[in-house]
Amino acid sequence: MGTALVTGASSGIGRAFAEALAARRDDVVLVARDTARLDQLASKLKGAHGTHAEVLGADLTADAGVAAVEERLRAGVDLLVNNAGFGTFGKFAELPIETELGEVQLNVVALVRLCRAALPGMIERGAGGIVNVSSVAGHQPTPYNATYGATKAFVTSFTHSLHEEARSTGVRVTVLCPGFTKTEFQERAGFDSSAVPGFLWQSAEEVAAAALQANDKNRAECVPGLLNRISATVSGAMPAAVSRRLAGAVVRRVE
């Protein structure tokens, strides 16, 4: 038993993380903007598992929101799950720049700040864990999804580096790189996923369970699902000119 802080906990993979952690009797700190959803989830977790669920409403695209979560992390947690994030689809030159910068702020800047707030205490205690949620999209260039793919490439590289730095400290650092996952992500990003074959999809619960198992074993990276692992491996081995053209062609077909 311990205390885990999960960002983006109001829905999707973040909610699945919170439920899985509570089921194994960890206390949870639930972070998101939608406090009404968090309150409902907290009540459900307390009733189902008897664990303590703390609600922390915060907008991680704003400095004040990140600062509030940093303060809670410095007070001490055993696991940080950096799950909050969003994506956009379309030609970069036609997307609102404010949205793209907000995407970088949430997917990259907030994540870096929260890792920095959590790590010193964990290292001092000689125990703890961090799971940073990336994507298989971070393994290759992603035309029409350019900012999102770039932010996830950063998260993947950054987390691998932290894993190596923390290797002898007792702190476990894992990057989670899921593929298509049944959440609200696609709808919020304006992406029509109806053409994506059913066999490519995973549930948020499957993804969260795989990530927690990987972090418990101190694995640097978790790519849930055999097809996703093959895709990530092949994409990483391809010349960039080939992988970006293939990715662009796929996105144009399913849009």
Let me know: does 143 contact 244? Beta carbons within 8 Å.
yes
- CATH number, domain containing residue 60: 3.40.50.720
Catalytic residue annotation: 148
| Sequence-ordered strand ranges (E) for 64-140 | 79-82, 128-133
pLDDT, mean of residues 134-156: 93
Residue 251 has a pLDDT of 54
Q: For residue 184, is pLDDT > 60?
A: no
pTM for this one? Answer: 0.86
If 0-12 CB within 10 Å is exposed, 13-18 middle and 19+ buried, where does residue 114 land? buried
| Sequence-ordered strand ranges (E) for 73-214 | 79-82, 128-133, 171-176, 181-182, 202-203
Where is average pLDDT lowest: 67-76, 197-206, 214-223? 197-206
The total domain count for the chain is: 1
Average pLDDT, the chain: 88
Nearest alpha-carbon partner for 52 in 71, 32, 14, 26: 26
Domain, as residue range, for 19: 3-254
For the chain, give the percent of residues with pLDDT over 70: 79
Residue 234 has a pLDDT of 58
pLDDT in tens, 152-175: 999 999 999 999 999 999 999 999
